[in-house]
Amino acid sequence: MDEIKKPEKAKVEKDNPHAGRRERVRKRYLNYGLESFEDHEVLELLLFYTQPRGDTNVLAHKILNEFGSLANLMTASPHTISRACKIDIKTAILISLVVPTYQKFTVSLFSNKVEINDSRQAGKLALELLRGRPLECFFVICLDAHRRLIHCEKISEGSANETSISIPKLLETVIKHRADSVVLAHNHPSGMLTASRNDLFATDATVKALKAIFVDVLDHVIIAGNDYLSFSEKRIMGLKFESEEAEKADANKLADIADALEAEMAAERESLRKKVRDQQ
């Protein structure tokens, strides 16, 4: 039987002129990691595994130009990526898997190791769960009696501006995982780091629902960009309505709190703008 000869390397590279570059990019990653990679090169490396031939460097530039940034791209849905960039769905799925995989990794680091016993820890975990998401999402973070993480679950997802809380699903999740206490978390994709009136009333309704099954709500964290707002830190976590009359009487109080928070954030933004102007 004649021996089957492997094609010569020169012939392979002639047939596929991009083969040499792919090998160089892989070796660069193996030797130095991603630190020295530009955003389009990170995407190019990923594309190697769904695009066996062709210039993935050009394709990576095209995809990034469509979405404007790596963050926008990797937080988009597979169908959105596929339609916008005219690429096959398996490639879009691979790209969209990066952020959820990292979020799963982060949650696993917290599980049964770190006590979520202050707003800083709650904010850190909420940032990892919600940062970069294009739609407003509401999560419940379930903790055991020692305030260690048991489970994180997305309760609802809405538009870019709002989402509603499903109290039945929230209760089902908390009971299923036998949580002793919880932290609530949701994001504001608009970038506005302030608690709205709806946020305040929704938090109160959630606290009441969980109190009925003897589960404490330790904090509600709002994520906007790379920052968080903690209801506990702002001392608005303990607001309670004991009767319909009290709820009506305190409605204006809640509105005043929301207005005060909005004014505080506006002042902070103006202060940052001033610092930027002074540095220029």
Residue 38: CA count within 13 A, CB half-sphere:
7
**pLDDT (tens digit per residue) in 106-115:** 777 777 667 8
On whether the CB atoms of residues 120 and 221 are closer than 8 A, the answer is no
Taking the C-alpha atoms of residue 104 and residue 30, their distance in angstroms, rounded to an integer, is 24
Alpha-carbon radius of gyration of the chain: 24
For the ranges 71-75, 87-91, 113-117, 158-162, the maximum mean pLDDT occurs at 87-91
The identity of residue 6, as a single letter, is: K
**pLDDT (tens digit per residue) in 136-150:** 999 999 999 999 998
Q: What is the DSSP letter of 140?
A: E
Beta-carbon contacts of residue 160 (< 8 Å; ≥ 6 apart): 134, 135, 136, 189, 190
Q: Residue 10 pLDDT > 60, yes or no?
A: no
The CB density around residue 220, as the number of other CB atoms within 10 Å, is 27
**pLDDT (tens digit per residue) in 147-191:** 999 889 999 887 655 567 888 999 999 999 999 999 999 999 888
Q: Residue 9 pLDDT > 60, yes or no?
A: no
**pLDDT (tens digit per residue) in 26-40:** 999 999 999 889 999
Q: Across-strand partners of 140?
A: 153, 184
Task: Considering the domain delimited by 115-279, tell me its CATH architecture.
Answer: 3-Layer(aba) Sandwich (3.40)
Q: Across-strand partners of 222?
A: 186, 229
Q: What is the pTM of this model?
A: 0.65
List every span in the chain annotated with CATH 3.40.140.10: 115-279
